[in-house]
Structure 1
Amino acid sequence: MSANSINSISEFLLHAGTEYQVFDMGRRLTPLDSQQFLDIENGSAYAPYPRQQHAWFGIVFWNKRASNQHYIWFIKLPLDEQGLVVSATRNHFLEIIVDALGQSVADDSEKAQTLPDNPYSFVPGQSLLAQFNAFVKHTLKQPLSEDAQKVEAYIKAPQLVDWQQISMQSVADFVHGLKSHEHYDAIVSAFCTNKALYSDVFLNTFLEMSENISLPEQIETFAIERLQISGDVSLSALRALSSDVFSKRINTQLVALLRQEVSSRLDILSVIAARHFEQMDEVLLEVFLEQAAKVDEKEGHNGALFSGFFSDLVQIPKLRRQVLTLLHSSTHSQSLMKAFNQLFAQARK
């Protein structure tokens, strides 16, 4: 197998005799079918959930003929200004893996798991990795960890189970299997009944591990109640309220939050930009950018922070037109108008 004969990552995996599943890891964990991924990596389709001017993927592959071992690559590919994968960088990545691995993936070699040093690999943080592992197991119908049973036991009887023996991975596994659990209603009911008895550490972990699933309505209500406690904002609750569809209820909560001084923090703005783009109607988008402009000015970023958020949001395909329309509107507040003027000035340099 030579680099010249392979034209895509998809083709490499097929030639190597593997089956594979690609997951978009940009803003939500989302499975991509093989044609979607091929179109994205070939630059004929936009990356649907770009982040920081890159498309982020987790690629799980295996060879049934060799063993049951599953391998994972985490790769990020740069995007151009339109949000399409830069073909030259994808080809460079291909050269690296073909030169290093050849046919070794089909031979079930240990090399398949460890890619050679390259600028396109990334290591997910502990939280995202736990969610990814659970999401993969659920998608590929693999058994969840036995420790997930400890989570169920703690939810049902928090007085009898030591929460410190519960791992982040077991919480992620439990959360991702919750909707298909045979005692789903009873577990949700127990959670809502006992929530005052749970450790704050457990609750924060539970909510954070829920950011890539649809929450039961009762638990969504709990997350909203927990969003602001004692004048502070719970980032885990903010993450848990992430949704893959527009929700007027969540949208209203975010607008109200962004209109408060407490939201003038980079970490809060970062979570909203990364996880709540589905909620960004015209009102929320303008309120968000206005708050970003105020934080930029207050912290002396000279437009860099605002520009970063703007560049990030404008690359999301479903937001691009909306963001550009807002850019050219003439009805902004003074702080937002100033931020846009700085943006124009930077573009002219």
Structure 2
Amino acid sequence: MSAPPLTLSGIFEQASISPRLYHLGREIAPCSPETFQAFEDQRLPWPLPWQQRARVAITFAPPGDSTSTPLVWFLAFPLDEQGLLEPAMRDGFIHRLLATLGQQPLDALAPVEGVDPLMKDNPLAFDPPPLTMALFHALAARDAGQPASRFSEMAESYFNGLSTREHGSSLGWQGVADIVARKDETRERQWAMCLDALDDQALQALCACLEFFPPTTPELLEALAEQNSVRTGEVAYSCARAGLASREGRASQWADTLLGRDVLADEDLAILAVRGWHHLEHETRLASFLEHLARSSTLDMSRWLKELALLPRLRLPLIMMLRDAPEDSALALRLSPVTRH
């Protein structure tokens, strides 16, 4: 008898199950089975780590039943300092899974009275917050060719100006997530023309979803930048998070403007690290960001450096900049000998 598979990918393959996988951490996006397999084999660091975890949604039909509602596992795998899988908890879950399948090969994966026995008391399992759950459902439905939820019509009417904009608080996450997950350039341009008419709650809801399905058109990015300049407090920051999440050139210019300031607020630094991290894949921007971070007297510099170092594309340039920081720089003064070497 052959040895049982040692990875979740291997178990799915042996059971002839083709799951859909999604990143549910720093970004909410599809994850290829090849990426997940390489991660499980410890051949590849997790590309989108969040809080030192690889947060994944795995959705699949139960074995032998492709017509029922797909099952969904929300799993957060611990990572080592290089972003690779720490396999102990994953292996424990696999042993539990194999034991369950050995007892009930076809029915074991189905939840009993709404409770999935494999997720109960499972240290890998996590409950996504409401926004993450709404965005995941919106993306999964779109990818499966299913219609948007019944809440999308209200959100569509609201943001297109077809219904009154006096009650933005009545919008739920799911409807906004649905229309943002299915947006195109035409819709982005429509939204760009109406951002100034939205109340604070509606604008924040739209921006919160755009953080994970970022703008692609110059018109929407310009409109977000304008609202960032005229709104205040958390509403302004929500516009910055949505805009800087984009990989377009206008968003990179926005990052340059922020980093060119003499003093950068802690919240701006956090936005760049969490939503605009891809703009830091640039020598000048990364150096400027690190100097601003070093000057902050309130942010935990060690924590932020560890988070950024887990990003595969930032790890090497970040380490090199930490080692080569000029002796008279704020960065060098903040770094301990242990951190630098």
TM-score range, shorter chain: 0.7 to 0.9
- Deviations along 1:59-117, one digit per CA (max 9) or x if unpaired, are 11113842331221111112222221123332122223334565658425215845121
- Deviations along 1:198-242, one digit per CA (max 9) or x if unpaired, are 221111111110122241331121112223445646232122124
- Number of residues paired by the alignment? 332
CA, structure 1 residues 130+261, in 2 after alignment: closer, same or farther (shift >3 Å)? farther
Q: 2:313 aligns to what SS in structure 1? A: coil
Aligned partners of 1:78 and 1:85 also within 8 Å: yes
> Which residue of 1 is the match for residue 126 of structure 2?
122
CA, structure 1 residues 346+220, in 2 after alignment: closer, same or farther (shift >3 Å)? closer
Distance (whole Å) between structure 1 residues aligned to residue 263 and residue 106 of structure 2: 53
Q: 1:60 aligns to what SS in structure 2? A: strand
Deviation at 1:7, TM superposition (A): 1.0
Deviation at 1:10, TM superposition (A): 1.5
> Which residue of 2 is the match for residue 221 of structure 1?
222
Q: 1:76 aligns to what SS in structure 2? A: strand
CA, structure 1 residues 93+334, in 2 after alignment: closer, same or farther (shift >3 Å)? same
Amino acid at match of 1:140: A
Q: 1:146 aligns to what SS in structure 2? A: coil
Aligned partners of 2:56 and 2:75 also within 8 Å: yes
Aligned partners of 2:291 and 2:329 also within 8 Å: no
Out of 319, 335, 338, the position equivalent to 2:330 is 335
Aligned partners of 2:28 and 2:136 also within 8 Å: yes
Distance (whole Å) between structure 2 residues aligned to residue 330 and residue 65 of structure 1: 58
Amino acid at match of 1:150: M
State how 1:131-280 maps to structure 2 within 5 Å. Answer: 131-157=135-161, 160=164, 162-179=167-184, 185=186, 187-215=187-215, 216-229=217-230, 232=233, 234-243=236-245, 245=247, 247-260=248-261, 263-265=264-266, 267-280=267-280
Q: 2:74 aligns to what SS in structure 1? A: strand
Unaligned runs of 5+ in 2: none
Distance (whole Å) between structure 2 residues aligned to residue 193 and residue 330 of structure 1: 45
Deviation at 1:258, TM superposition (A): 4.0
Distance (whole Å) between structure 1 residues aligned to residue 272 and residue 306 of structure 2: 15
Aligned partners of 1:16 and 1:103 also within 8 Å: no
Q: Is 1:5 the counterpart of 2:4 in the alignment?
A: yes
Deviation at 1:26, TM superposition (A): 3.1
Q: Is 1:26 the counterpart of 2:31 in the alignment?
A: no
State how 1:5-154 maps to structure 2 within 5 Å. Answer: 5-16=4-15, 18-63=17-62, 65-66=64-65, 67-100=67-100, 102=102, 106-107=106-107, 109-111=110-112, 113=116, 115-154=119-158
> Percent same amino acid among aligned pairs?
23
Q: Is 1:288 the counterpart of 2:289 in the alignment?
A: yes
CA, structure 1 residues 229+244, in 2 after alignment: closer, same or farther (shift >3 Å)? closer
CA, structure 1 residues 260+123, in 2 after alignment: closer, same or farther (shift >3 Å)? farther
Amino acid at match of 2:309: V
Q: 1:47 aligns to what SS in structure 2? A: coil
- Deviations along 1:17-39, one digit per CA (max 9) or x if unpaired, are 53311112232122122222111
CA, structure 1 residues 210+316, in 2 after alignment: closer, same or farther (shift >3 Å)? same
> Which residue of 1 is the match for residue 309 of structure 2?
314
CA, structure 1 residues 237+65, in 2 after alignment: closer, same or farther (shift >3 Å)? same
CA, structure 1 residues 150+93, in 2 after alignment: closer, same or farther (shift >3 Å)? same
TM-score by length of 2: 0.85
- Of residues 328-337 and 127-136 in structure 1, the stretch that sits farther from structure 2 once superposed is 328-337
Distance (whole Å) between structure 1 residues aligned to residue 63 and residue 39 of structure 2: 26
Aligned partners of 2:228 and 2:237 also within 8 Å: yes
TM-score by length of 1: 0.84
Q: 1:130 aligns to what SS in structure 2? A: helix
Aligned partners of 1:55 and 1:79 also within 8 Å: yes
Distance (whole Å) between structure 1 residues aligned to residue 202 and residue 180 of structure 2: 12
CA, structure 1 residues 347+337, in 2 after alignment: closer, same or farther (shift >3 Å)? closer
